[in-house]
Amino acid sequence: MKNAKLKIGLIAVTSLGMMWGSASSFAAPEKRCTAGGQKVVCPTVTEEEAKKASAAFLKEGDDMEQGKGGSTYGIAPFDYLTGVGKRSNSDTKTFKTDSGYGGETKGGLKTELWDRVKAPSSDGVTDKSVYDQWTNNWSPKFGATLVAGADPNHGKTYYYSYCIACHGWLMHGDGPSASELNPRPRTLTRGDYMNKKTNLELFAVIKGGGEQVSLSSSMPNWGNVLQDQDIWNVIAFIRAMQDVPPPTSVEAYLNPKSTFKPIKGDVDALNASKSAEFKDIQETIESEMTGRAPGTELVGGGYVSGGNRLDASAVPLKVKN
Ligand code: HEC
């Protein structure tokens, strides 16, 4: 039962409980997806792989609760649930808390998270810095971007919060819930497919959801959760991960090498607001969003301050060629 609890907990966190009631059940026709204008078979993992990933996820959760080693991707120490390095020593057999975090660490088992934040509550450490550690310590850091005005380092944090339940920790389409979805979530690292998709197309499906681009509503719309700059940042993260294989070492995990090359004439975070096509798509998506009062101005395309985001023009990263 512990497993079931864990899984539900993660799903609530990662997808805000959105769309769970409406997971679509229609069968996927052969060539439903388009890449570069061609109809192609949608890139997903097989049903078997999705089931295996689900089982691995449950085992990982169980192992984590019991303080055992072992990891989904064969990297030890690595924690599938948090991406945080997991350290153990064999003096103590079990954690003292349900979650596995914040348990007794005296000679016992602990995670990297709590290794790095010493005594979080007594140390005046804020939730935000814990969150930053959570998402930044044991994950790739990018010194350049493949989308002008968009920061993959910020996109990564949103991806980890909202997308992994379905698309998987490493974007391979094998999140813990992938096996329960039909059609299955996209493998987002298949360069033969994704590198032909324009930023405009990715922006539309992420902001407006699957239905916006004639795909399944199992892909939720994120326009009411993520602001435009967040979406751009997530796109930059996706672009930075093309054809990145399951890592065989922590080093490989931290330094993904992408095959994506910016597409000539495509919109990016810096120039999108000047594109008529982008404006059109924004208008369509936003007219269907719950947050927009009838008759009000189009708010998309612009920058709204607050949260973990930078104005596109202030993103410090250079575009990699
Ligand atoms: C509830 C599960 C779920 C969550 C959460 C989810 N997705 Fe998806 N996503 C899907 C499914 C299912 C599809 C495939 C839809 C289809 O084939 O009709 C998909 C497809 C996609 C596609 C591919 C569209 C195309 O043109 O092929 C992108 C890009 C994408 N998702 C990005 C994201 C991002 C970014 C997030 C997080 C902000 C996210 N998804 C969260 C289920 C999900």
Choose the residue to mutate in 219, 222, 237, 241 for probing ligand 1, maximizing ligand atoms within 8 Å of C-beta.
219
> How far, in Å, from the CA of 292 to the mean position of ligand 1?
23
> How far, in Å, from the CA of 186 to the mean position of ligand 1?
6
Taking only the tens place, the pLDDT of each residue in 19-57 is 333 444 455 457 889 998 899 999 999 999 999 888 877
Taking only the tens place, the pLDDT of each residue in 259-274 is 999 999 999 999 998 9
Q: Give the mean model confidence (pLDDT) for residues 81-102.
A: 39
Give the HSE-up count for residue 223: Cα atoms under 13 Å, Cβ half-sphere.
26
Looking at per-residue pLDDT, the higher value among 290 and 33 belongs to: 33
User: What b/e string do you get for 172-188 counting C-beta neighbours within 10 Å, with b at 16 or more?
Assistant: bbbbbbbbbbebbbbbb
Please, what is the average pLDDT of the chain? 73
Mean pLDDT: which of 109-123, 262-276, 291-305, 307-321 is highest?
Answer: 262-276
pLDDT at 156 over 50: yes
Q: What percent of the chain has pLDDT over 90?
A: 36
Taking only the tens place, the pLDDT of each residue in 173-201 is 998 899 999 999 999 999 999 999 999 99
Task: Tell whether ligand 1 has an atom less than 6 A from the beta carbon of residue 162.
Answer: yes
Q: Which pLDDT score, from 0 to 100, does residue 84 have?
A: 46
Q: How far apart are CA 109 and CA 174, in angstroms?
A: 28
Task: Tell whether ligand 1 has an atom less than 6 A from the beta carbon of residue 57.
Answer: no
Task: Tell whether ligand 1 has an atom less than 6 A from the beta carbon of residue 110.
Answer: no
Q: Which pLDDT score, from 0 to 100, does residue 243 have?
A: 96
Task: Tell whether ligand 1 has an atom less than 6 A from the beta carbon of residue 45.
Answer: no
> How far, in Å, from the CA of 21 to the mean position of ligand 1?
16
Taking only the tens place, the pLDDT of each residue in 224-248 is 788 889 999 999 999 999 999 877 6
Tokens of 57: 């996820």
Count Cβ atoms below 10 Å from residue 18 Cβ, excluding itself. Answer: 17
pLDDT at 11 over 60: no
> How far, in Å, from the CA of 85 to the mean position of ligand 1?
27
Q: Which pLDDT score, from 0 to 100, does residue 260 have?
A: 98
Q: How far apart are CA 218 and CA 132, in angstroms?
A: 29
Task: Tell whether ligand 1 has an atom less than 6 A from the beta carbon of residue 186.
Answer: yes
How many Å is the maximal CA-CA distance in the chain? 65
Q: Which pLDDT score, from 0 to 100, does residue 236 have?
A: 97
Contact yes or no for 270/148 (Cβ under 8 A): yes
